[in-house]
Amino acid sequence: MNLSQFSIERPVTVIMIVAGILIFGCVSLGLLPQELFPQIVYPQLTVVTPYGNAAPEEIETLITRPIEEAAGTVAGVRRINSISKEGLSLVIAEFGWSQNMNFAALGMREKIDLIKERLPREAEEPTVLQYNPFDRPILILSVTSNKDRSPLLLREITRRMIKDELEKVEGVASALLSGGVEREIQVDVNQDKLLAAGIPILDVSKSISNANLNYPAGTIKESFYEYLIRTLGEFEHVHELDDVVIGSGQTPEESNRARAENETAKLRGISKDKRLIYLKDVATITDGVKERTSYSRYNKKENVSISIQKQTLGNTVRM
């Protein structure tokens, strides 16, 4: 009996089979955008502790071993692995699949808090991170230019015109840029001139920070309106850095003596001008680029890569 004869002799059976296929198809159609169900939480915690300018041997002795001892006392730990490299300590603790990772992370932080005093003071505070492979970028885009655009201009165009638009897409958490070069205003201080002026290097840094600020200046009321006033102090051009005052070029003893002379001069009605030291007197300001620590190329051509990170509950299939 072939299919045609079977369909003619048993029409009710054929109708039921077709209806079942249609129902199954409708149910499957609604589940197609489902990326993963249920949500998987990997039973792994990583303790990250940066310690700048330290050798791997020092990292292992001073940081990694104490953290390993503390992590080993957390309930449910099955295996501990560690990586000690220059300036960074990584301690990886693995748990069972039935472990509640929220409580495990809480227990890990409590154990780490008990040994913080044993860690070097120069080391940063340990951070407990939960491992999730889905936190990796779901898509990496490559941006190149057919024209002779510099790596600096290409990265700036990508940041302004592409990155901001991608982050507006539903489900996208962030878009990270890599490759190209970034602009950097470099202040090269002449140590001999700075010592001759008697000004500490910290005063130079503080003077630049204090001069590059916008401050609120109160309000102005006019009839039914109230206006907010701001004093604009941020730099708009590089040459404005030249006129930043970093000091008077006097030692504390000279400053006290000059203050006494100024008070005496005021009593006599004589004005004495102070000698101000500007940033251009002790430093050279350059509009340059940051030092490159990585390169990104596509087909042997300089490019800018955009790593797209999805939101925690975002669905890759729907994006």
- pLDDT tens for each residue of 160-186: 889 988 888 888 888 888 888 888 889
SS3 assignment, position 287: strand
Q: Does the predicted model carry a pTM greater than 0.85? A: no
The mean of the pLDDT values for the chain is 83
| pLDDT tops 50 at residue 278 | yes
CA distances (Å), 122 to each of 111, 126, 128, in order? 20, 12, 19
In this prediction, residue 272 carries a pLDDT of 46
Give the model's confidence band at 55: pLDDT under 50 very low, under 70 low, under 90 confident, else very high: very high
* Exposure b/e, 113-144, CB count within 10 A at least 16 = b: eeeeeebeeebeebebebeeeeeeeeeebebe
Neighbours of 235 (CB within 10 A): 13
Residue 145 makes CB contacts below 8 A (sequence gap 6+) with 154
Fold adopted by 186-287:
3.30.2090
In this prediction, residue 253 carries a pLDDT of 53
Tell me how far apart the alpha carbons of residues 84 and 62 are, in angstroms, rounded to a whole number: 11
C-alpha R_g of the chain: 32
In this prediction, residue 67 carries a pLDDT of 94
CATH superfamily of 44-133: Multidrug efflux transporter AcrB pore domain (3.30.70.1430)
Q: What value does the mean pLDDT take over residues 206-211?
A: 87
Which residue ranges does the chain devote to CATH 3.30.70.1320?
A: 136-182+294-310
Q: What value does the mean pLDDT take over residues 102-118?
A: 92
When the candidates are 3.30.70.1320, 3.40.190.10, 3.30.930.10, 3.20.20.70, the CATH number that belongs to 136-182+294-310 is 3.30.70.1320
Q: Are 30 and 310 in contact (CB under 8 A)?
A: no
Tell me how far apart the alpha carbons of residues 313 and 39 are, in angstroms, rounded to a whole number: 9
In this prediction, residue 267 carries a pLDDT of 52
Helix (H) or strand (E) holding 16: helix 11-31
List beta partners, residue 44: 94
In this prediction, residue 313 carries a pLDDT of 67
Which residue ranges does the chain devote to CATH 3.30.2090.10?
A: 186-287
